Structure 1
């Protein structure tokens, strides 16, 4: 049986359901233009966190799955190829006004960026924010140009090319390692003022002045700038070819060789202490040694010359003995090391064998042989210096020999090299000593014999050569005999 009242209630309920569903299906929201919490965005690896606040209405129009996205325009404020820089999690932003945080991409660089807000459910897009300057300072430290040489020169009518070093010398962090960066060159007009000259990684200079370059971070302050280079025009004489040392001057040899660099030219020749260095014909020269280094640079129609007094930071040290020392058997030689090394260590060697249990800066040497001392600085500019000296038995020019020898062997071995006679005939006894060849030619005749014959090379032309001697004492006693010289 048909129930009219029941049918009426059903149709009323269906109408309300369909009306509610239609409102949900046709729901829309309006998103206001985002407000910025900053006037410019100068991001870096140490700071890259910014915020924006926006309103939307109605809040009830959001679906539970809705996400808000922040889009970044290009550097000209155009959203045609916008970049999404933040997206909220579904359903996390439900009240208005809302604040979202975001970070800038590392390629950001320009003065006219904008952001906008988009929602996903329902889909809606705000208008763009006001424009703002934004840069990500991917390189934010000083860098070098001209290989850190502080000057350059060109012949009259020519030009000089300044370039950003890549990679450069030492710890130079070249901005050329980051392809997205651009550069601006400036010429100094005063101690604290300058004028813009040109864009680009290089600059061709055709006028005298002091120039430098900065990474283009627009209105953002930055530490990404180069050293200054003073360029001069050569009309007469030689230009000054500056020289720089990559490890500084003084430099620490423990860090390896330092690179000497000079101005740009056509050809180069390096010198050390006034002497030409073989094959040192490039703009750079590496060395680990102190000294006076100079360079000649051919600029084409003129020349340039430069010089640097290169010093090593390696500590100073010295010992108080000579390279060759003599003592009598049983005596000692006191050796001391003087040094300004930081926390020095000392190693002592005798005939290339380490002397055990000796680590002080002094030693009492008693054994004959070749000694070596290695002094090492263990902190700061770590390095070592080496000293070598010899200890020999003292030569006795007047030994107490018993008999007059008749054989000598002057071969330089320190044994029987000269004719040594008893002390009663030597210097101070007023004894005449005469030595003759086998033909009677007198080669020595003295009343002050010093046990030193032969003093010169005898030019022996046979295995054995015979000489004759006559010794006459002050009381006219005479000794005669022969001396055979063995080659």
Structure 2
């Protein structure tokens, strides 16, 4: 029987126990199973934002320092080696329900991931979400195999090795640059269907068919797939060896060399226009020329050959003036360029300054100086050609000089290079002009003098040469004298 004292002690103990239970209950929070805002996650650099929502109770149980985090399972849905992919700020979420946004790690690749939510204060875990497929598409563009050669051949009893190009030609984004990626090879069964063959970066083929490979992103759609390659068996004779040009055919030489590639084999020999190309014994050949290129491929027990008529798309053009052109002051010259460039554009320059008003294939030039025209093909190759030319003032071949000069210096500097005499003795006056050397040998004589002597190199040495002239007019007037030729 309880005494009053014992009864008081019992009541006190019961109150303490109830208070403890209340505190413990207050310190617990229940997290509901996450509700995913997606059915599968196909992440990439251009899109990687996902969300989930969950409920928790009671709200009052959360401490001010609480943080919610998202835990991601392994690809099989197991949380024993999980990854935290999101953590909220301290006390960021205080009311239920809550929605969290997060991103997928770049290593994500699998069909059965799960997510769960954790709280830190107090510590609690939700149940795992439903399973979902998730991949981070590190590479999501078409890529090349077999050096972009569309065919391959193997000898009877042999095989042909298909490989993903790394780096490949042109702007090929090889998925081999991303070590975490895996690959699935397929063979076409119809124009719209195919069958899975094997995994890996290469495929050894011993069955005829058309093959291609895709980066393994599971049920996620992707643009990470290769070109098709048709493989045949060379049962007898010589197989066909397709040749591919990395810059296409026709190709633009302004982009640099194009790379010719053929099917894989044991050894190779390339030819141009039927002539062997020395040292061209690799699977690929670089060239910037046009012509008929062919190759012989040793496949082991059989061989293959192929030919490509390679064509350059470099456009043709011409200009109707010389590099140096002379006109009189006040005159002009019509400059015309002709070209077969596609959609050409023309830019004209004078003294290295663009003439913005001149955009056609013709210009009327009247100023003395240096000119340039740039022709640009804006369709096709998108290449350019430039022509430079100069317009200078024409020298008067018959200036009005007063006296017969007795010294000239034919050194090509444009000053006193020829013997220029008064107009009354030059062309049109029927005056006989005779020049002799110091031995009396006539070296020049004409009745139609053009102010152009000496017309040839006089082989001058360090000693000046002296010549003598006799000028006889139509009415028999005579002028005599000497001409000293200096270097």
TM-score class, shorter-chain normalisation, is 0.5 to 0.7
Aligned pairs (5 A) from 1:334-349: 337-341=337-341, 342-344=344-346
Q: Distance in 2 between matches of 1:21 and 1:147?
A: 75
Are the structure 2 counterparts of residues 269 and 339 from structure 1 closer, same or farther at C-alpha, using a change threshold of 3 Å?
A: same
Are the structure 2 counterparts of residues 385 and 215 from structure 1 closer, same or farther at C-alpha, using a change threshold of 3 Å?
A: same
Q: Does 1:232 align with 2:246?
A: no
Q: Does 1:91 align with 2:78?
A: no
Are the structure 2 counterparts of residues 290 and 227 from structure 1 closer, same or farther at C-alpha, using a change threshold of 3 Å?
A: same
Does the 8 A contact of 1:71 with 1:116 survive in 2? yes
Spell out, residue by residue over 1:349-400, the C-alpha distance to the aligned partner (whole angstroms, 9 max, x if none).
xxxxx9xx99985799xxxxxxx99864264534455899xxxxxxxxxxxx
Q: How far off its partner does 1:120 sit?
A: 0.3
SS in 1 for 2:81: coil
Q: Distance in 2 between matches of 1:378 and 1:24?
A: 83
SS in 2 for 1:232: strand
Are the structure 2 counterparts of residues 28 and 268 from structure 1 closer, same or farther at C-alpha, using a change threshold of 3 Å?
A: same
SS in 2 for 1:343: strand
Spell out, residue by residue over 1:77-117, the C-alpha distance to the aligned partner (whole angstroms, 9 max, x if none).
11111111111111111122221111101111110100011
When the two structures are aligned, how many residues end up with a matched partner?
377
Spell out, residue by residue over 1:245-278, the C-alpha distance to the aligned partner (whole angstroms, 9 max, x if none).
1122222222211111111111111122222222
Which residue in the other structure is 1:58 paired with?
58
Q: Distance in 2 between matches of 1:335 and 1:48?
A: 60
Are the structure 2 counterparts of residues 97 and 387 from structure 1 closer, same or farther at C-alpha, using a change threshold of 3 Å?
A: closer
SS in 2 for 1:254: helix
RMSD between superposed Cα atoms in Å: 4.1
Q: Does 1:113 align with 2:113?
A: yes
Q: Distance in 1 between matches of 2:240 and 2:348?
A: 45
Aligned pairs (5 A) from 1:8-407: 23-24=22-23, 27-318=27-318, 337-341=337-341, 342-344=344-346, 376-377=375-376, 379=378, 381-384=381-384
Are the structure 2 counterparts of residues 289 and 136 from structure 1 closer, same or farther at C-alpha, using a change threshold of 3 Å?
A: same
Instruction: Return the TM-score normalized by structure 2.
Output: 0.67
Q: How far off its partner does 1:16 sit?
A: 8.5
Q: Distance in 1 between matches of 2:13 and 2:375?
A: 97
Are the structure 2 counterparts of residues 301 and 147 from structure 1 closer, same or farther at C-alpha, using a change threshold of 3 Å?
A: same
Does the 8 A contact of 2:345 with 2:359 survive in 1? no
Which residue in the other structure is 1:456 paired with?
none
Instruction: Return the TM-score normalized by structure 1.
Output: 0.67
Which residue in the other structure is 2:458 paired with?
none
Which residue in the other structure is 1:468 paired with?
none
Q: Distance in 1 between matches of 2:360 and 2:72?
A: 69
Q: Distance in 1 between matches of 2:32 and 2:304?
A: 66
Decide which moves more: 41-50 or 16-25. 16-25
Q: Distance in 2 between matches of 1:359 and 1:38?
A: 57
Does the 8 A contact of 2:345 with 2:360 survive in 1? no
Q: Distance in 2 between matches of 1:278 and 1:375?
A: 38
Q: How far off its partner does 1:233 sit?
A: 0.4
Q: Distance in 2 between matches of 1:373 and 1:295?
A: 43
Q: Distance in 1 between matches of 2:20 and 2:68?
A: 24
Does the 8 A contact of 2:292 with 2:308 survive in 1? yes
Are the structure 2 counterparts of residues 317 and 125 from structure 1 closer, same or farther at C-alpha, using a change threshold of 3 Å?
A: same
SS in 2 for 1:166: coil
Q: Distance in 1 between matches of 2:65 and 2:20?
A: 17
Q: Distance in 2 between matches of 1:165 and 1:45?
A: 23
